[in-house]
Amino acid sequence: MGVPQWMSVDVKEYIRSNKQLQIIDVRQPGEYMSGHIPGAKLIPLNELPGRFKEIDPNKESVIVCHSGGRSSMACEFLQGQGYGKIHNLLGGMSMWDGEVE
């Protein structure tokens, strides 16, 4: 099963429409601190196997990293755990053109 890809415009539109969206950032803490999408929860990829239950499987989620590689791996892992509402941010933060905290 392929990982659904969202572009930054898709994420921004979803947020604008006031729909609940979990944004999970799988980068390392230093990367996260240098700038992240407002409201994003940090769960580094290496911690995901022990922390994935912090993600609500009933809510739409977008997974973010720097360029899309780690987030794609995280999406595949989450799909393997039965998560179906998972999307990879295409190009990651390097392609994000929205607000940053």
**pLDDT tens string for the chain (101 positions)?**
588 999 999 999 988 887 789 999 999 999 999 999 999 999 999 999 999 999 999 999 999 999 999 999 999 999 999 999 999 999 999 999 999 99
pLDDT at 11: 92
pLDDT at 1: 56
For the domain made up of 5-95, the CATH class stated in words is alpha beta
Domain ranges, ordered by start, for the chain: 5-95
pLDDT at 3: 86
Residue positions annotated with a catalytic role: 65
pLDDT at 16: 86
Structure tokens at 7: 């572009």
Q: What is the pTM of this model?
A: 0.94
pLDDT at 52: 98
**Count of Cβ atoms closer than 10 Å to residue 23 Cβ:** 19
The order of strands in the sheet holding 41-42 is 5-6, 86-89, 60-64, 21-25, 41-42
